[in-house]
Chains A and B, each alone.
Chain A
């Protein structure tokens, strides 16, 4: 086989038929853009759903057994913490509560009338109707599993202060920084209230259920979280799940089984199982993965169809090449090289186009290009060309040199 000749023929055909090959390259670029956006959107939505849970500094999440791994349905009181902590092999336990609410900068909420000192004193005030930022309000025990490391600011200074740590997205979207005062709107029974909290830290990306997260001490959380019934005893600390960090020794799976065996009415699962059970998470990912899969299949058909038509148009020429002594290896190499080169150029153009387009998107669009996912998508896209071209390759190899004389296939 003459490799250099195959390269030369493949390149010359592409360069002297720029329009034809550019059109299929453009189609591949568009398919690339679509696949990368679907992948980015999938990762963005997945991250928006699971980021807080998957990033926990813990090995297990413990639910109320009857909650069927639904965080919102799981309810514990303080006694559960002690029960789990007593299990041999448990390193540390942190109680975590989840709620949804709306926050806004203090100055917007009440015309900037309250001072930071007033905020530090806490207390509820009347809520406003100005649009705020919808967030996941997460109550954590400072210093325990569930309390994220802060990148800026001192972090929580007490277990019950009017303090808040913002996830990166909440900080970006609210424009708030350490030292600012944040107002949490919360419905207490039938009354809309607002609570002022001082920002004491900015953590890395923290999102839960497609909403940026703001974190408060668990005791504060119990006080300010939206409640339907004010008759509840405010001294009863309720939360949803327990984050458990294993001590050195048992594996997380063994520790989970041990917790379930020793503490009545609980279920312990690893973090992956936990976030896969966040409502809608798996269905959403399946939908997006199916879309990506279909796009790749369409890509295979489009690329395959193009090269098949091109090969059919060249049957006489291929027959002539074979008649004058070109080997099947040369014909195959030229065909495969063209498919790979055009596919590569299309994928490259699509990747650059996607990057340029993504740069124009506002931060509210949940799109995240994670290296592993992008690499997987790109490998898939690079494979679709040769895969689609297999039919064309087979057609080219089946051409008989007799065709040059008007005989044969």
Chain B
């Protein structure tokens, strides 16, 4: 089911960080995985035809691990991300985040769970246009009923770390695309979620800004020990991640874990 080629595991449906086990051997003893997805399958009915958008994908993420989901259009990247976020119910399989099975949560509780345990950045419509940079970030604290002076201070510090200390009162429309994405990253992390999900965070950025954003993202995920998943079509962005999961036709085509293999993949050598 899996075969390795220079740190590469080909085919198969499991995409665990370390051999597909539920626990991460590389992590601290007894460390519960931040995210476990088992046998995710999503089918759509198109007339009489059944379309398999996602076909038996499993993956496990440790805290502090940053994973890239890559693949051509229609490979199922966004559907997987949606299922991992609890935005889409899988036809089969289940997702557990911080030990909670998302399939057992009703829609209302699921929204609350997302609010507390998941951070998001999106490709577009990332920020609320009528809120300032600081307000966009502290929005997550307000939604969780955790906005206070300490939270506001933490938001300022996070934005300063992201190089936006002088833009706290700016509106999104006054920022560049890269700055907006960095605000979205701050918002995704401010409430200290278990998992951070990023959908094409560099899609609208030029190469230099895209690298800056992904570098920042990776640093924060590693530093704050969050589990991060980034969906991207830009292979160059994979050089900062710990693992690359390549999807094809809704299934895992191969998984790259070796840094050298990931670097070659990011350079286009293994694509």
Contact = CB atoms under 8 A, between A and B. Distances in A.
Interface of A: 2, 5, 8-9, 12-13, 16-17, 316-317, 319-327, 330, 400-402, 404-408
Contacts, number: 85
A12 B128 CA distance: 11
Given A317-B129, A407-B88, A323 B114 contact: yes
Contacts of B99: none
A407 B82 contact: yes
Contacts of B199: 404-405
Contacts of A12: 130-131, 135
B143 A5 contact: yes
Contact of A323 (B113, B122, B123, B129): B122
A158 to B, nearest CB: 77
Given A16-B171, A325-B114, A2 B145 contact: yes
Contacts of A330: 143
A325 B111 contact: yes
B124 A401 contact: no
Given A323-B114, A324-B118, 13 more contacts: A2-B145, A12-B131, A13-B130, A316-B125, A323-B122, A324-B114, A327-B108, A401-B111, A405-B81, A405-B85, A405-B122, A405-B123, A407-B78
A320 B180 CA distance: 15
Interface string B172-201: 000000000000000100000000000100
B212 interface: no
B197 to A, nearest CB: 9
A2 B116 contact: no
B6 interface: no
Contacts of A316: 124-125
A2 B142 contact: yes
A400 B82 CA distance: 12
Interface in B194-232: 199
Interface in B106-122: 108, 111-116, 118, 120, 122
B130 A404 contact: no
Nearest to A326: B143
A319 B199 CA distance: 14
Report whether over half of chain A's contact residues are helix, strand or loop; otherwise say mixed: helix
15 contacts: A2-B145, A5-B143, A12-B135, A16-B130, A17-B130, A317-B125, A324-B120, A324-B143, A325-B111, A405-B85, A405-B87, A405-B199, A407-B79, A407-B88, A408-B87
Contacts of B111: 322, 325-327, 401
A317 B128 contact: yes
A2 B130 CA distance: 19
A321 B126 CA distance: 9
A241 B132 CA distance: 74
B97 to A, nearest CB: 13
B140 interface: yes
Contacts of B120: 320, 323-324, 404
A320 B142 contact: no
B117 to A, nearest CB: 9
- Scoring B114, B118, B125, B143 by chain A CB atoms within 10 A of each residue's CB, the highest score goes to B125
Nearest to B113: A325
A402 B125 CA distance: 12
